[in-house]
Amino acid sequence: MTDLSETLPASAASARPSEAPARPAWRPSTGLLCALPMLLLLGLGFLAPLLIVAVYSFMPRGTFSLTSAPTFENYVDIVAQNFHISFLWSIWLALLTTVILMAVCWPLAVSIKKLSPSRALLLTVLIVAPLFVAENIRLQGWSLFLDRAGLLDGGLKATVGLSTGSLTANVPVVVFGMVYIYLPFMLFPMMLGLANVPPAALEAAQDLGASRWQQFRDIELPLAAPGLVIGALLVFVISLGAFSESKFLGKGVIVTVSEDIESAFTFGQNWPRGSALSVLVIVLAGAAAFFGLRRLDLDSMLGRK
């Protein structure tokens, strides 16, 4: 055999590229300086309001200022009253929406990936287009379609003499509404995730004897996981705060946490209660994001290795 001292791994290991050169003593990097305006904006526009909400949640009932002595009464009230019902509904609906959207969007994303770029663009535009119409208006549209004597019921009655009655004011229609509204939030991260799956890797797996299921489980799913996790997180967190769907399609069949929050801030005239409910939702969403993102390598998601 030839002398492979240069090419053999044993010696190659000594010069691994992963060992970065030592950093000089700390000084503000260009990156930090560039990020400064954004950090300021986030601090003022995002953290400060959050902080105010958090402080409000410890104010006594019905106050509209932040100067009273702090109290836990809002949280005590929330536990004492039946708020667990709306929390459980919100969490359950968010989970259900996330799972359904994963199942619905996966084949869609895989098919879009296989399309020619121009067709994929067309389809993407068609999927994005409804986002330019306000959510409430789209949901009202569905309500008009599904209500008794609505477009569907009336149309069927006029053509084939069948009646569906009202298809609104039930839980499944709420789930449908959420799946419909949040589809893009799952689809696009998922497409991004699937873009991380080199077609050759799938072919290689197939070539190595992997069945379609094994290719999906061992190659596609793990490689697309970052997109999947981002999509699931987005959908879960946004659905947790959903209220238009239960309002416009559910018509009072259930109450979500966000409806409770809205009621507390408006008719309830109880900003501290609304704030306390908001804090709890934020904690829930934060926990979900924390556990989700912990499993995720954002660098590999963005294509850095």
Partner 1 sequence: MPQPILERSPILELRGVDKIFGDFAAVERVDLSIAEGEFFTIVGPSGSGKTTLIRMLVGMDAPTRGEILLRGQRINETPANKRPFCMVFQSLALFPHMTVGENVAYSLKCRGIGKKERRERATECLALAHLPASYYDRAVTKCSGGEKQRVALARALAYDPEVLFFDEPLSALDYRLRKTLEKELKDIQRETGKTFIYITHSLEEAMVMSDRIGVMRDGRLAQVGSPREVYDRPRTRFVSEFFGEVNAFPVTAKDGRLWCEPLAMAFDPPPDAPAGFKSGALIVRPEHLHFDPAAAEPIRGEVFNEYLLGSRVQYQVRAGGTTLLVEGMGGQPPATREVALSFSPADSLLFAE
Partner 2 sequence: MNKNQFLPPHRGPSRRTVLAGLGAGFAASLTGGRVKAGPGATYADDLWAKTVEELKSGSFRMDLNLHSWEGYTEEPVLDPFSTQTGANVNPQMLISDPSAVNNLRSGGTNTWDIINLNNAWQRKILYPNDLIVPLDKAKFEPLYAMNVPEFAWPYKWAMADDGALLGMIQRYGPSGVAINSSLIDAAEIEDGGYAALIDGHAGEYGILDYENWVIMHACMAAGFSPFREHTADEMAAYEEMIFKVMKNAKKISADAAALARDMITGEIVGCFPGSLYSVSAARMEGMSEITCVLPKMGIEETKTAETPDGKSGIIWIEVTSLVNHPDPTPLAEAFLIYCHTPEACHRVAAMAPGTLNPVVQMGDPTVLELFSQDELDAVMWGADGAELKTLVDRCIDFDINPDYDAMHDMYTEAKRSRGF
Decide: 241 and 281 in contact? Cβ < 8 Å.
Answer: yes
Decide: 118 and 199 in contact? Cβ < 8 Å.
Answer: no
Task: Give the tokens for residue 120.
Answer: 């994929």
Q: Is 64 in the site for partner 2 (CB under 8 A)?
A: yes
Decide: 85 and 93 in contact? Cβ < 8 Å.
Answer: no
How many residues bind partner 2 (CB under 8 A)? The answer is 35
Q: Is the dihedral of CA 28, 31, 37, 39 positive or negative?
A: negative
Residues 141-160 that bind partner 2 (CB under 8 A): 143, 147-149
Residues 4, 12: Cα–Cα separation, whole Å? 10
Decide: 64 and 73 in contact? Cβ < 8 Å.
Answer: no
Residue 10 binding: pick among partner 1, partner 2, none (C-beta 5-8 Å cut-off by kind) = partner 1
Q: Is 133 in the site for partner 2 (CB under 8 A)?
A: no
Which string of x and - marks every residue 78-97 that binds partner 2 (by CB under 8 A)? ---xxx-xx--x--------
3-state SS string for 192-249: HHHHCCCHHHHHHHHHCCCCHHHHHHHHHHHHHHHHHHHHHHHHHHHHHCCCHHHHHH
- Select from 184, 231, 235, 260 the one that contacts partner 2 (CB under 8 A): 260
Q: Is 213 in the site for partner 2 (CB under 8 A)?
A: no
Residues 169, 252: Cα–Cα separation, whole Å? 7
Look at the block and give the residue holding tokens 């290795």: 305
Residue 200 binding: pick among partner 1, partner 2, none (C-beta 5-8 Å cut-off by kind) = partner 1
How many residues bind partner 1 (CB under 8 A)? The answer is 31
Looking at beta carbons only, is 18 or 82 nearer to partner 1?
18
To the nearest whole angstrom, how small is the minimum distance from the Cβ of residue 304 to partner 1? 11
| Segment interacting with partner 1 (CB under 8 A) among 36-44, 165-173, 199-207, 245-253 | 199-207
Residue 140 binding: pick among partner 1, partner 2, none (C-beta 5-8 Å cut-off by kind) = partner 2
Residue 251 binding: pick among partner 1, partner 2, none (C-beta 5-8 Å cut-off by kind) = partner 2
Which string of x and - marks every residue 203-242 that binds partner 1 (by CB under 8 A)? xxxxxxxxx--x---xx--xx-------------------
CB contact burial 196-222 (16+ within 10 A = b; e otherwise): bbeeeebeebeeeebeeeebbeebbee
Give the interface with partner 1 as residue ranges (CB under 8 A).
1-2, 4, 6-10, 12, 16-18, 198, 200-201, 203-211, 214, 218-219, 222-223, 300, 305
Give the interface with partner 2 as residue ranges (CB under 8 A).
61-62, 64, 77, 81-83, 85-86, 89, 136-137, 140, 143, 147-149, 166, 168-169, 247-248, 251-255, 260, 263-264, 266-270
